[in-house]
Amino acid sequence: MKQYKVAILGATGAVGREMMNILEERNFPVGELHLLASARSAGKTLTFKGQEIVIEEATDEAFEGMDIVLGAAENPIAKRFAPAIVKAGAVFVDNSSAFRMDPNVPLIVPEINPEDAKANKGIISNPNCSTIITLTAVYALNQLSPIKSMVASTYQATSGAGVNGPIELMEETKAVLAGEPTQPKVFPYQIAFNLIPCIGSESTDGYTTEEMKMQNEGRKIMHLPELTVSCTCIRVPVVRSHSISVTVRTEDPISVEQAREAIAKAKGCRLVDNLGAKEYPMPLDTSDQDIVFVGRIRPDLTDDHGLTLWCCGDQVRKGAATNAVQIAELLVAE
């Protein structure tokens, strides 16, 4: 099998390190792996397949000869290096939001729209983590009848804010239990024993940037330009794995039985739906793996064209790193 020269931009962050793990787990045909980060990280090492790889400073020249670049850096870094990556002839699979809504850049969830990846012009975007998890859960319904609207609430783990999110949760938990004051730094308020109903910055009509991603990205990924989504994003005191409550309204009614059957067969999904036996998706069960668990499927009592469900998925893996590697696998398959 052909071997590929792969680079990870932002290799020292949580997503970058997870990309390394997943490349190894999935036995991706890596001939050479280059780990790129800021100048302050250059010279340090990370382990891949039992070998120590020296981290290199990210420069325009660092991408020469690469076949695939996995992006795990923030928007400014992605925008800074995208031209050099494309010029080098590599395909940039970018996890930032920098290019997601660019009409010339495919936005891919491999279980949903893998064919769109073929239209890339050197850049492919990875969607928002909650968007990936939610759409993976509901796409089987869209195949039964087009989705017209969704009302969603996302319950996002602290690790979604980076490696320091869970650290702050643990430190605050210890402080509260010891009767000591908390000192929030990562989050605007204490997250231990609390919920914060705001993720992202103010956007439109009282919605945040994070909340608008579900509609904007959902339209592009599922090819549903008229899709409407009302979303509320909530930070919760959970270490890992995002959860989403979503009510889906379709063009034609779909029964609960039809939904369960379709989701049970859907790529990337696992049906966990037995209320009587207390079986339903939970963050503890869905962390450190790549399947989206779906359950609590029931009729929407306000609309006979609606269904309500609950889903959970690991936002660092399927919501970011794994989805990016799966996109790279599409490129290799071609």
Distances (CA, A) of 288 to 14, 63, 198, 205, 330: 13, 30, 25, 36, 23
Report the alpha-carbon distance of residue 247 to residue 40 in Å, rounded: 46
Token digits of residue 210? 């994070």
Given the residues 34, 231, 242, 312, select the one marked as catalytic. Answer: 242
**Rounded to the nearest 5°, which phi and psi values hold at 91?**
-105, 125
Q: Catalytic: 242?
A: yes
For residues 127 and 217, the answer to whether their CB atoms sit within 8 Å is yes
For residues 135 and 244, the answer to whether their CB atoms sit within 8 Å is no
**Rounded to the nearest 5°, which phi and psi values hold at 260?**
-60, -45
Token digits of residue 271? 């049906």
Given the residues 34, 129, 231, 269, select the one marked as catalytic. Answer: 129
The H-or-E segment that residue 13 falls in is none
Report the alpha-carbon distance of residue 126 to residue 93 in Å, rounded: 7
Report the alpha-carbon distance of residue 2 to residue 263 in Å, rounded: 35
* Inter-helix orientation angle 129-144/209-222, to 10°: 40
Q: Which residues are catalytic?
A: 129, 242
